[in-house]
A and B are shown apart, each in its own frame.
Chain A
Amino acid sequence: MSKILEGLKYSESHEWVKAEGNVAYIGVTDFAQKEMGDITYVDMPEEGDDVLAGEEFGALESVKASSELISPVSGVVLAANTELEDAPEKVNEDAFGSWIIKVEMSNAAELDALMDAAGYKAHIGE
């Protein structure tokens, strides 16, 4: 069973969003990190980059795979979690504690299109 946190929003491509006002923290779910296996690198955008809902903003890499990160919301990157540059294993250890980017949302209404915890639970069939 994968961990799912209440109170977060979820995308079909397994990203989670934690909104604090107009600011969104984005990471990948526990389910996603398990599917990937040992993550070896997190490819992240830079501060000031634009992200678009439904568009790729980075990638997770393991030894034998690479998986795109899709932004659930649109906006401007306020920060990327540079801690993950040297310690990508943190995503494996605590997927919900390891945000990847922090975004200033340009359209918070986009959150409404995302799933809640129950919806995501059904989505991954657990």
Chain B
Amino acid sequence: MKVVVILFMLFSLSFGSDATIEVIKKIESLPALAVEDASISYDDTFKMKFFKALVSDLNVLSLFNVERKYNTTKFDAGDVVIENKNMQYVLRYKLFEDDNGALNVELKLFKDNATVLVKNYKISANNVYMFVSHAIAYDINEFMGAPSVEWMKKKVIFSRMVDSKKSEIVISDYTLEYQHVVVKGGFNIFPKWANKQQDAFYYTSLDSTQPTLKKVDVASAKVISIISSDGMLVCSDVSDDSKKLLLTMAPKGQPDIYLYDIEAKTYKRITTYAGIDVNGQFMNDNKIAFISNRLGHPNVFSKVIDSNTVEQMVYYGNSNSSCSSHGEYLVYKARESSNAFSANTFNLHLISTKTDFIRRLTATGNNEFPRFSKDGDAILFVKNYKEQSSIGIIRLLHNKNYLFPLKYGKIQAIDW
């Protein structure tokens, strides 16, 4: 019997490149890793903050069974702490402040009590320590030869409602621990990174007479207006080469998807249905996915640009009102109950255009704003459950979800 199970597992793994198939990994099978603090500067509060951030980042890697116990030691001590003797990996770090007030981190990774990796980091201020923690986790992941977690170093941009018709746009790290308000005052929503380098972003301003799409250059803070439309205007997606946008506009009160060419400054209408067509997403093969209510309730459809055929993508869920795509994959938000006023559950599901599988990614609460990372390795989302809002990360290959509680405010839209 065991042989059959092992054979089946091998078989499943060999076809595991399809992300809609769940990969079940046992936690016991992951190597144990402990973290040792050998810091010589900073107070205990900061040291603990850094330790927690690092443990949490290492957990998100999904490569180790990370020990949460806090141990201190000397950086140059030859042996790992007694309690960590049986750990396969031990990560030891030393935080120290240099004469310029910069945060320096020295790092050693032990495997079976032998040093296998040495690294040093430096950042100009200690309030951005979480980026060092993300960088360490990224390097450990590279060292282990696991698929890249480039997204860990990417920035997240989101809009947050602060009052009725008042919002602000914030740039943060992926855990939302670091937050920097970039647009404040007014009513500005739906921020979207303009390119992979994340050196500019788009957002919709509702302060003018007509909703207007604006673009901000992050370094110079220069703002330019791109296009305006009566009714509504949202930048739903940016093409991989950053040259084309999928916009939802409603010049005549009719929300449709438009393809906007940044260089030529021209646009063309992609959808023409008389109801609602929104949330266009670029897919492979000149295709877009979008949300439409053409069957009476919101659902996910796709269309080849310049063709008239529309294909229904999802046959499950009573109301699927938002989606995000990456190549052949689509993640969408489904309302799990048909009652308009029950305690609503919204779950995220993953599908592929090449298979018929549906993989449910979340199980409880109100999960929304799914956004693929640029490399497709992870999905970022917002979870509201029992009065607590969190930002979530789904590691598709590892079948794991991680949650980071939100400090305050209701998120209006998010991108990374």
State yes or no: do A and B come from one complex. Answer: no
Q: Which residues of A contact B (CB under 8 A)?
A: none
Q: Which residues of B contact A (CB under 8 A)?
A: none
